[in-house]
Homo-oligomer: A and B are copies of this chain.
Amino acid sequence: MNFLVIGADAAGMSAASRAKRNMPEMNVTVFEKTHDVSYSACGMPYNIAVPEKAIEDLVVRQAQVFRDKQGINLLTGHEVKSIDPMGKRVLGVTYEGQKFEFPYDKLLIATGGSPLIPDLPGFDLPGVMALKNLDHGRRIKAYIDEHSVKKAVIIGMGYIGLEMCDALRALGMEVAMVKPNLNFIPWMADELSDEVQREVESNGVKLYKGHSVQKIESTNNGLMVVCDALTLNADMVIVAIGITPSSECAIAAGLETGIKKAIAVDRQLKTSDENIYAAGDCADAYHVVTGEKTWIPLALRANRAGWAVADNVCGGQAKLEGVAGTAVFKVFDLQIARTGLTPKEAVKFGFDPVDIVIKSRSRAHGHPGSTTIQVHLIGDKKTGRLLGAQMVGKEGVAHRINAAAVALHNQMTVDRFSQTDLAYAPPFGPVWDPLLTAANQLLKKMP
């Protein structure tokens, strides 16, 4: 049996490795268009912040290990250009320009996502760069080094943009961020978003909200980011306005797509073609709160989906429950976490949301070193269910959010969630965990 995988990052290599472990006799071939495999994309901003670290430190396992130790036929520099579902083969071209074609019994598309780049003048200038794959990281590091970058503009204020502003400030650069939306973190409650904004600004980052970039120009002085009523000079521009699923091949092959053109898969990760699976940032997923399809490109679900595909290709019946949209990131001294739906998303999916923002503390009454934790909790008036949670604080946020995530997997009501037995000790929080205080307060607003 020929199991073919397109893409050698989280989903692809998780699937390939597990398939080989499940059935050592299986032929497993992976095509990867770049020369990098199995790296921690999420670690790139942290790596960029440290010039003496090589970007290759982020590689989790070397290509040669996959080949020699695991017996995977891993072909880097091989870009798959098209899929022929009727003929059950893929066609492509190597880095050196040579054409290839390869048959499959089962195929996994794990092509990931690509950064969105606006179709505007100047976004192809040298020094204007996005960050998604290891090669992007490599280029950014080299550019900073070679051009002694002093000033950077980041277009976009999403979590990659925010992680990058932290990294570039750590390198001593002047950093400005710009975006069209007037809300700083639009999916957050104002109180929480304001706290993050204060943290970013107090670390010397200039924020320009409400400005649409029109073009980027090259000047004698470097680059100029031109908006309607604003121009920003920079030695380097990072484009971080989001990513999009890399589903072109799948679309061309006639596979069904869903939200944001992600490849549509069922709970077994199967596409509309019996023999083709998709996993990772290129594929959609079920949301455990709505039960509907969603597209949330995050690392854990990519790894998990890769495993499930391997099990199913080997004759199993693995089904994924879905994602809760749990995420965390760090910007300067703040931890920012979320899980589930925002009030706006809740309305969109037919819920009748009610929400609350509370302030609590990271340590007990009288315990030194305590800082503020803000919690935004969202419930459904109709069913009493917990729908989502967001938190901001200097400590005790990153892992605390997981309690709410597990509650969402179980469709807990806010009432039942408020009854959960969470850990308490003075160095780690108040007797009533901030999530429980929020649940207690939210209950008062529910029928």
Contacts and interface: CB of A to CB of B under 8 A. Distances in A.
A405 B403 CA distance: 8
Contacts of A323: 421
A298 B416 CA distance: 19
A320 B421 CA distance: 11
Given A364-B40, A400-B399, A432-B300, A406 B420 contact: yes
Given A300-B432, A426-B46, A60 B365 contact: yes
Count chain B CB atoms within 10 A of each CB in A40, A366, A405, A433 and give the residue with the most.
A366
A249 interface: no
B399 A43 contact: no
B399 A409 contact: no
A172 B419 CA distance: 41
Given A43-B364, A303-B432, A412-B410, A421 B398 contact: no
B42 A426 contact: yes
A50 to B, nearest CB: 8
A409 B398 contact: no
B406 A339 contact: no
Given A321-B416, A399-B400, A406-B420, A425 B303 contact: no
A172 B397 CA distance: 33
Nearest to A421: B324
B47 A424 contact: no
A57 interface: yes
A354 interface: no
Contacts of A422: 300, 326, 402, 405-406
Nearest to A409: B420
A255 interface: no
A424 B42 contact: yes
A364 B43 CA distance: 8
Interface size bracket, A side: 35 or more
Interface in A349-378: 364-368
A428 B366 contact: no
A66 interface: no
Interface stretch (A70-78, A186-194, A328-336): A328-336
Contacts of A263: none
- Number of chain copies forming the complex: 2
Contacts of A409: 410, 412, 416, 419-421
A325 interface: yes
Contact of A366 (B40, B396, B427, B433): B40
A288 interface: yes
A141 interface: no
Given A320-B419, A423-B327, A423-B328, A431 B399 contact: no
B423 A326 contact: yes
Nearest to A418: B304
A147 B153 CA distance: 63
Contacts of A90: none
A46 B335 CA distance: 26
Nearest to A404: B406
A299 interface: yes
Contact of A399 (B60, B367, B428, B436): B428
A431 B320 contact: no
A415 to B, nearest CB: 10
Given A42-B364, A405-B423, 14 more contacts: A40-B366, A42-B426, A43-B426, A57-B366, A298-B424, A300-B422, A323-B421, A328-B423, A328-B428, A398-B425, A401-B423, A402-B420, A402-B423, A402-B435
12 contacts: A46-B426, A303-B431, A323-B421, A326-B422, A327-B424, A328-B425, A330-B428, A398-B423, A399-B400, A406-B420, A409-B416, A409-B419
